[in-house]
Amino acid sequence: MPRPRGTAARKGSVFLSSHPRVRLALLIAAPLFWLGVVYIIALVLLLVTAFWSVDSFTGEINQTLTFDNIITVITGALYQTVTLRTVGIALAVTVIDVAIALPIAFFMAKVANNRTRRLLVIAVLMPLWASYLVKAYAWRSVLSSEGILEWMLAPIGGHTPGYGVTATIITLSYLWLPYVILPIFAGFDRVPDSMLEASSDLGGKTWRTLRLVVLPLVWPAIIAGTIFSFSLSLGDYITVNIVGGASQMLGNLVYTNVGAANNLPLAAAIALIPIVIIFGYLALVRRTGALDNL
């Protein structure tokens, strides 16, 4: 085997192998650039815009520092109401989704045989093949006063909730369900059967086993699921436009201020609300280790 000659490539690799920090810097430069440019800059620009103002007539942005938008957003009754409504919707969607996802995921992971499990995974993923808009409009027709829900509930004296906050919660719960089922399914899947057997050998009944053995193990997975449903609901504005009747969420306020009002600074200030809420939520759940399950 001929001895490698001192080519540039060889010199380079010798240099890199003796300088681990340079090697590392070169390796992470590209992803960091991507993260920095696409992600951080966009967020920083947003943050900075919130401290500017806009000339209401010409629509020019005035780049002098002002806290007016932040103050408006914090003190304005409108923003408080809409924030509360949005958080309420996001929480309701999350609770509903988790309640539906837990039994389904448990069945998929622990009860069903391989064939059924595969079919169920496909069934859960199937709605993701259809466009978001198609699904939202489908719910618009289901919830309509002449829709299928009314037709089904009328004989037992029930009525469709009509378009509004309830309709929004139902539709969003449907839309985000797969994102909640999948992490919880993965969580259940990771619970070794031997542990369930050990628990029952030691006299643990079903509920005791679930509570003391299974729940602590899948808890991070559940939290991971809630992050999806909570954050996706918090930022949504299209569903509420389609089935929300006259209600609006934070996303709608951002949208009107960017579009109709041409007031980017105020929109940026409003957009900070969900960011703050999500950061708070993430900080809270970080301790559970759920972030490693995403």
Residues that bind another protein (CB under 8 A): 28, 32, 35-36, 40-41, 44-45, 48, 54, 56-60, 63, 78, 81-82, 140-141, 144-147, 162-163, 242, 244-248, 253, 256-257, 259-263
Tell me the Cα Rg of the chain: 25
Q: Supply the minimum distance, in Å, between the C-beta of residue 178 and another protein.
A: 26
Q: How far apart are CA 34 and CA 75, in angstroms?
A: 37
Q: Supply the minimum distance, in Å, between the C-beta of residue 163 and another protein.
A: 5
Residue 28 or 71: the one with the smaller Cβ distance to another protein is: 28
Residue 169 or 253: the one with the smaller Cβ distance to another protein is: 253
97 phi and psi angles, rounded to 5 deg = -65, -45
Q: Supply the minimum distance, in Å, between the C-beta of residue 160 and another protein.
A: 10
Report which of 234, 145, 153, 219 is spatially closest to residue 184, judged by C-alpha positions. Answer: 219
Write out the two tokens for 230.
């909570």
Residue 109 or 167: the one with the smaller Cβ distance to another protein is: 167
Residue 80 or 116: the one with the smaller Cβ distance to another protein is: 80
Q: Supply the minimum distance, in Å, between the C-beta of residue 50 and another protein.
A: 13
3-class DSSP string for 204-226? CCHHHHHHHHHHHHHHHHHHHHH
Pairing of strands 61-62, 53-54: antiparallel
Residue 6 or 31: the one with the smaller Cβ distance to another protein is: 31
Given a contact cutoff of 8 angstroms between Cβ atoms, the answer to whether 133 and 171 are in contact is no
> What 3-state class would DSSP assign to 76?
coil
List residues bridging with 61 in a β-sheet.
Answer: 54
Q: Supply the minimum distance, in Å, between the C-beta of residue 78 and another protein.
A: 5
> What 3-state class would DSSP assign to 138?
helix
Residue 147 or 235: the one with the smaller Cβ distance to another protein is: 147
Q: Supply the minimum distance, in Å, between the C-beta of residue 30 and another protein.
A: 13
Q: Supply the minimum distance, in Å, between the C-beta of residue 180 and another protein.
A: 28
Residue 162 or 204: the one with the smaller Cβ distance to another protein is: 162
Give me the count of residues in the chain. 294
Given a contact cutoff of 8 angstroms between Cβ atoms, the answer to whether 109 and 217 are in contact is no
